[in-house]
Amino acid sequence: MDIWMRQVHRKVKTLQSHQETKQLQLQRLKMTVVKCQSGPRILAKLPLLQ
C-alpha cells in the first residue's frame, strides 16, 4: 500500500516536469487511482498538485 502510494507520488512529480502531456497523463493517473479502494483519499491531494 505505502509502496503503491510512493509510486503514484513519483509519477505525479514526473508528470509535473512534462508540460505537454501533463493534462492527459494526470487524467489517466486519476482514472487509475479511482479504481483503487483508497482512491478518494489520494484524489483529494491531486488537485493541489495540478
Residue 39's pLDDT is 56
Residue 4's pLDDT is 79
Q: What is the tens place of the pLDDT at every residue in 1-50?
A: 578 788 888 887 776 666 557 677 777 777 776 666 565 666 666 665 54
Residue 30's pLDDT is 75
Cα angle 32, 7, 28; round to 5: 25
Residue 50's pLDDT is 47
Rounded to whole angstroms, what are the CA distances from 1 to 6, 17, 18, 24, 39?
Answer: 9, 25, 26, 25, 12
Residue 18's pLDDT is 63
